């Protein structure tokens, strides 16, 4: 049981907690936080598990840097979408609105009809 | 020569993306027309080069893996690169006429379109597990952005749901990659296969492979994880839906298939292969049934995608534990299915967009009377439907014929019933749309006429999918070309 293996196990635990939150939480921002938690867990597993004769392996560290960039991009996109969605619908969850508001019928030629 | 082709293929989509980010819709359209011409020519050139000289491994910038990016340019990869070029160019062309330049946010279509294209090329050519992950993420983020382009709350809801599913799928895949790297110390798919066959690694555990397949199946919308697909594909603008259904879901399937063909023999098992096959069959039946029940035209087409994706997953049982010849037959059938579905579904979504534009409603029963006003688009829709049903001489027929033979030859006769039922059910939902459009008694006389080029594009795609069955032999022969070792 080396310290780095401990990191890997911590990563697995983080993944588990994150996955639980991701599936159970309804609020979109919380879901997003849970996604980031899973991501951190995966990165820990990646760095902790890869060992070369007791020495840390530099390659996964380079990969994790790329992974962090990707995760930031995804988080930024999700935050923008969630914010816009909240402005338009006033909702913070993905639940369908119970009563559909009557939509104005007029539509330009290019609009493909609202979903109902 | 190939150096220039590779540079043109990989670098230019990113360059177009950055260029179009800085200009408005109309200038972006001009840049994109130029870019699409370049991409189609480069893809054709690369395809011809591989068809005559065989595939090669390409090290980006001369750096060795694992720090450098290793690209495997084989027959299958260039076939998909060419398919992407044709379908994406058709969708881009359609979008350039279809999208309203008056809406300021539509200008973001172009950069997203190009990022998507760059990601697709990266996935087809990617040779190591981590770069495939980066390519997948690039595709997902661009695709989510394209879905959100609709702008209303419902489009955003669909986009967020899609994003959440895609992110979870990517992380499952990445965790699998981390475990594989921890075990084998290499990221190159070829390297992992080599280590596994040489036997100096301890006996492989199935868990990382299952984890990666699970993540990729979620991103490919395999039953029962398909819930995110119909809202996202149904609500997006038609050219976007066409891109998503034709190409984006194929990218994650492509990675899953490559993993299975390289590692599945060692790490997979009979039960796993059969389970994936059963899920695919359920997707075919359930997806077709739901497509039949939908009231909105684009939802019909979107659920049909769920069903057609199910066919792809028959690859897993038909290539596990069978002889080389049967496995090859199944692989060829699946590849033809990917190509013919990409062409047919793109044609179908674009034609559906024209029909919706013409009648001003997205409901199937609003199509009454449209057969007299828009016969051309309706005909493209039907031709694409014929390919989905798998009637001769379409590409869909050739694909299903190969799958049928493979399942008979491997003694797995139960897939036969699925193939037949799937064909019948797809006929049911295509004819339902037809029945609605041929009703003559209608009080609407107001039909909007889309411009001629909007109608021509789906027709070209549908004809290509129809003709694929006739040229299947040369396409398949290029596809199976192996590597010829470092031909930089």
SS (H, E, C) A46-96: HHHHCEECCEECHHHHHHHHHHHHHHHHHHHHHHHHHHHHHHHHCCCCCCC
> Cβ B182–A66 below 8 Å, yes or no?
no
Tell me what pLDDT residue A104 has: 44
> For chain A, percent helix, then strand, then coil, each to nearest 5?
65, 5, 30
- Residues 339-398 on B with a CB inside 8 Å of A are 353, 356-357, 360-362
Q: Nearest by CB to B175, which of A15, A52, A77?
A: A15
Give the Å distances, CA to CA, from B160 to A80, B18, B75, B148: 10, 25, 36, 8
Q: Contact B234/A115, CB-based, under 8 Å?
A: yes
Tell me, what CATH number does A16's domain have?
Answer: 1.10.287
Q: Is residue A115 part of a domain?
A: no
Q: What is the nearest CA distance from B100 to chain A, expressed in angstroms? A: 6
Specify if B194 maps to a domain.
no
Name chain A contacts of B237, Cβ cutoff 8 Å.
Answer: 112
Would you state the pLDDT for residue B63?
Answer: 75
Residues B242 and B348 in one domain: no
What is the least distance, in Å, from the CA of B365 to any CA of chain A?
A: 14
Residue that terminates a domain, selected from B190, B217, B251: B251
How many separate domains does chain B show? 2
- Report how far apart, in Å, the C-alpha atoms of B195 and of each of A26, B63, B129, B184, B201 are: 44, 22, 15, 7, 6
> Containing domain of residue B471, as a range?
270-476
Q: So what's the pLDDT on residue B57?
A: 78
B130 inside 8 A of chain A by CB: yes
Residues B245 and B305 in one domain: no
Query: How many residues are recorded in chain B?
Result: 488
Q: What is the pLDDT of residue A107?
A: 42
For residue range A19-29, list pLDDT tens digits in order: 999 999 989 99
- Window 88-107 of A, Cβ < 8 Å to B: 88-89, 91, 94, 96, 107
Domain assignment present for A102: no
Q: Are residues B230 and B306 in the same domain?
A: no
Q: Number of folded domains in chain A?
A: 1
pTM: 0.90
Is there a single domain that holds both residue B157 and residue B114? yes
Domain co-membership, B167 together with B281: no
pLDDT at B120: 94
pLDDT above 50 for A7: yes
Contact B298 A85 (CB under 8 A): no
Report the gap between the CA of A110 and the closest CA in chain B (Å).
Answer: 6
Query: B415 and B323 in one domain?
Result: yes
Report residue B142: phi and psi, to 5°: -65, -40
Question: How far is residue B291 CA from its own chain's centroid?
Answer: 19
Residue A114 resides in a domain:
no
Domain housing A78: 3-89
Q: Which of A29, A35, A12, A9 is nearest to A86 (CA)?
A: A29
Whether residue B246 is found in the same domain as residue B319: no
C-alpha B316/C-alpha B261 separation (Å) is 9
Q: CA-CA distance, B18 to B15, in Å (whole number)?
A: 5
Of A39, A59, A113, the CB nearest to B361: A113
DSSP-assigned beta bridge partners for residue B58: B71
Q: Are residues B314 and B234 in the same domain?
A: no
Asked if residue B485 belongs to a domain, the reply is no
Burial of B380 (C-beta count, 10 Å sphere; 0-12/13-18/19+): buried
Give a yes or no: residue A110 inside a domain: no
Q: Show the tokens assigned to A107.
A: 């539509």
Do B242 and B282 reside in the same domain of the chain? no
> Is residue B274 one of the residues assigned to a domain?
yes
Residue B154: name the closest of A22, A35, A105, A84 by CA.
A84
- Shared domain for B235 and B295, answered yes or no, is no
Mutate: best of B68, B133, B157, B212, partner A, most A CBs <10 A? B157
Q: Is residue A50 part of a domain?
A: yes
Higher-pLDDT residue of B238, A54: B238
Are A115 and B296 a contacting pair at CB < 8 A?
yes
- Assess whether B324 and B445 both reside in one domain: yes
Looking at the DSSP assignment, which residues form a beta bridge with residue B188? B128
Chain B: give the shortest CA distance to residue A105, in Å.
10
Asked whether residue B187 is domain-assigned, the answer is: no
pLDDT of residue A113: 43
pLDDT tens-place values along chain B, 488 residues long: 777 888 788 888 999 999 999 988 888 899 999 999 999 999 999 988 888 887 777 777 777 766 678 888 888 888 999 999 999 999 999 999 988 888 888 889 999 999 999 999 999 998 888 889 999 999 999 999 999 988 788 899 999 999 999 999 999 999 999 988 888 888 888 888 888 777 655 555 788 889 999 999 999 999 888 889 998 988 888 999 999 999 999 999 999 998 898 887 777 788 889 999 999 999 999 999 999 988 888 899 999 999 999 999 999 998 888 888 888 888 888 999 999 999 999 999 999 988 888 888 888 888 777 777 778 888 888 889 888 888 888 888 888 888 999 999 888 888 889 988 988 999 998 888 888 888 776 666 667 777 888 888 999 999 988 888 888 887 888 777 655 433 33
Cβ separation of B179 and A45 shorter than 8 Å?
Answer: yes
Residue B356 lies in a domain: yes
Contact B208, B179 (CB under 8 A): yes
Q: Is residue A59 part of a domain?
A: yes
**Rounded Cα–Cα distance for residues B221 and B418 (Å):** 19
- Name the one residue in this structure whose structure tokens are 């340019």: B73
Residue B205: inside a domain, yes or no? no
Question: What's the confidence (pLDDT) of residue B488?
Answer: 30
Summarised one tens digit per residue, pLDDT across range A58-114 is 888 888 999 999 999 999 999 999 999 999 888 888 887 765 544 444 444 444 444
Whether residues B163 and A78 touch (CB distance < 8 A) is answered with yes
B275 in the same domain as B247: no
User: Domain for residue A96, yes or no?
Assistant: no
Q: CB neighbours of B345 closer than 8 A, spacing ≥ 6?
A: B242, B245, B246, B301, B304, B305, B308, B384, B388
């Amino acid at each position: 049981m080396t310290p780095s293996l401990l990191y890997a196990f911590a990563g697995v635990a983080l993944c588990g907690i994150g996955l639980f939150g991701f599936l159970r939480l309804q609020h979109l921002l919380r879901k997003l936080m849970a996604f980031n938690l899973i991501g951190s867990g995966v990165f820990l597993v990646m760095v902790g598990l890869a060992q070369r004769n007791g020495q840390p392996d530099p390659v996964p560290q380079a990969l994790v840097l790329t992974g962090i960039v990707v995760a930031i991009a995804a988080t930024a996109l999700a935050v923008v979408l969630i914010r816009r969605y909240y402005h338009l619908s006033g909702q913070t969850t993905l639940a369908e609105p119970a009563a559909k508001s009557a939509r104005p019928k007029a539509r330009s030629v290019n609009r493909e009809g609202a979903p109902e | 020569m190939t150096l220039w082709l590779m540079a043109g293929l990989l670098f230019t989509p990113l360059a177009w993306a950055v260029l179009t980010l800085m200009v408005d819709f109309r200038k972006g359209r001009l840049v994109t027309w130029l870019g699409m011409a370049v991409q189609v020519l480069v893809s054709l050139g690369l395809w011809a080069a591989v068809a005559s000289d065989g595939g090669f491994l390409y090290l980006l910038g001369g750096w060795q893996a694992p720090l450098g990016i290793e690209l495997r340019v084989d027959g299958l990869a260039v076939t998909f690169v060419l398919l992407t070029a044709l379908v994406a160019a058709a969708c881009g062309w359609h979008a350039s006429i279809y999208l309203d330049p008056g809406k300021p946010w539509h200008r973001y279509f172009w950069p997203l379109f190009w990022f998507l294209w760059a990601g697709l090329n990266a996935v087809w050519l990617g040779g190591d597990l981590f770069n495939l992950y980066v390519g997948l993420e690039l595709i997902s983020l661009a695709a989510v952005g394209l879905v959100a382009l609709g702008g209303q709350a419902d489009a955003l809801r669909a986009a967020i749901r899609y994003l959440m599913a895609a992110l979870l799928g990517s992380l499952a895949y990445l965790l699998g990659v981390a475990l594989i790297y921890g075990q084998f110390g290499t990221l190159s798919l070829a390297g992992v296969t080599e280590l596994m066959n040489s036997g100096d690694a301890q006996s492989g555990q199935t868990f990382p492979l299952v984890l990666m397949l699970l993540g990729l199946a979620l991103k490919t919308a395999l039953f029962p994880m398909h819930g995110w697909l119909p809202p996202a594909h149904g609500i997006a603008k038609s050219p976007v839906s066409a891109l998503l259904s034709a190409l984006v879901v194929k990218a994650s399937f492509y990675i899953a298939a490559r993993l299975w063909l390289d590692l599945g023999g060692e790490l997979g098992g009979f039960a796993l292969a059969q389970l994936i096959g059963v899920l695919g069959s359920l997707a075919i039946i359930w997806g077709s049934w739901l497509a039949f029940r939908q009231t909105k035209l684009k939802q019909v087409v979107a659920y049909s995608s769920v069903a057609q994706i199910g066919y792809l997953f028959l690859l897993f049982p038909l290539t596990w534990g069978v002889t080389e010849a049967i496995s090859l037959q199944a692989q060829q059938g699946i590849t033809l299915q990917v190509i013919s579905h990409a062409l047919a579904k793109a044609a179908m979504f674009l034609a559906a967009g024209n029909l919706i534009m013409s009648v001003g409603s997205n409901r199937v029963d609003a199509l009454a009377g449209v057969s007299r006003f828009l016969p051309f688009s309706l005909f493209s829709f039907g031709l694409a439907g014929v390919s989905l049903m798998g009637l001769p001489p379409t590409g869909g027929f050739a694909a299903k014929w190969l799958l049928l033979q493979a399942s008979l030859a491997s003694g797995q006769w139960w897939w036969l019933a699925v193939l037949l039922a799937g064909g019948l059910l797809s006929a049911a939902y295509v004819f339902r749309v037809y029945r609605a459009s041929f009703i003559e008694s209608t009080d609407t006389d107001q039909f909007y006429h889309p411009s001629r080029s909007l109608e021509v594009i789906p027709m070209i795609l549908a004809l290509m999918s129809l003709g694929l069955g006739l040229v299947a032999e040369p396409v398949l022969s290029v596809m199976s070309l192996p590597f010829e070792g470092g031909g930089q």
